[in-house]
A and B are shown apart, each in its own frame.
Chain A
């Protein structure tokens, strides 16, 4: 089955800097890669997703890149703000959705 590894587990950045979270997956049949953000006391919420026919997708300060050959995808957050502090989960969907272990992002002001 699918296995998703996510790094780093914790990331601290200064406000205004960029943050990058990386994930690898094992199932070459996976074709959908969402990213979820979980704020304290809340459930995860989809922030961006990418499908296997696209290499990059942007939404304002957030972007996701996908390298199907390397089975690797990344989340990029530019101009980080304190409200970006949260736990971020990547996931990959082969025959079912499998999540990474999460990255705690702390943005220091």
Chain B
């Protein structure tokens, strides 16, 4: 599975959009981009995934560049409860879920 690169930390003001970037320049055609988050002391939580089209659900939006070498997770109106470590994971369907270091997002009041 392709390796991903994320900034170690980011800050966001409450109520503003949080845009979390992820680079995955070695992604191959059959690999999906998954996003999970881990709120302190809880298990990781699935957020969203996509292959090449942009995706949106009740939690977030996922924007994948046309060349698929990078993506951005958007939390449209961040709240204090969105403070968590966010993991961008690239993997083939059915392969194991391997976590990197992720981005610590801190939402400030």
Co-assembled chains A and B = no
Interface positions of B (Cβ within 8 A of A): none
Footprint of B on A, CB under 8 Å?
A: none
